[in-house]
Amino acid sequence: MKMQEIFENMKNIAVYGMSADITKVAFSVPGYMIKKGYTVIPINPKADTILKQKVYRNLMDIPDRIDMLNIFRPEQEALSIVQEAIERRKAKGDIKLIWLQLGLRNAEAKKLAEDNGIDYIEDKCIYLEHKKVVEN
């Protein structure tokens, strides 16, 4: 799937590890996506709202459709998060793409996602990729 298609079609983004700390990229990057018209659904066990969005504890608690799961957690957590995403996809039929932020890679998680029909991007910043698409 091309970046342009991703940004045109994937409007509901669950953000695993979205931060309430305004100094962190896990706050500013999802904030940018909200400003660009995307629905951002934060997942964080320690907050109730971030950027006026209701925060959920896990993927299964989210009532809305999820197009993309954007992960801001250490790469060693990626496999268990992908497993959770697969359970969600089996139950609700959503989550078409999993995106690990810049600097994050996990070959086992990638294989598991792809084996279960989920597109997978790793080691790329959604903010930088969006800016490239928008500005070109």
Residue 91: exposure state from Cβ atoms within 10 A (0-12, 13-18, ≥19)? exposed
Domains of the chain: 3-72+84-135 (3.40.50.720)
Share of the chain above pLDDT 70, in %: 100
Q: What is the pTM of this model?
A: 0.96
Mean confidence (pLDDT) of the chain: 96
- In tens, the pLDDT along 92-128 reads 999 999 999 999 999 999 999 999 999 999 999 999 9
80: three-class secondary structure by DSSP? helix
Residue 53's alpha-carbon distances to 48, 58, 87, in angstroms, are 8, 15, 24
pLDDT at residue 91 in the model = 97
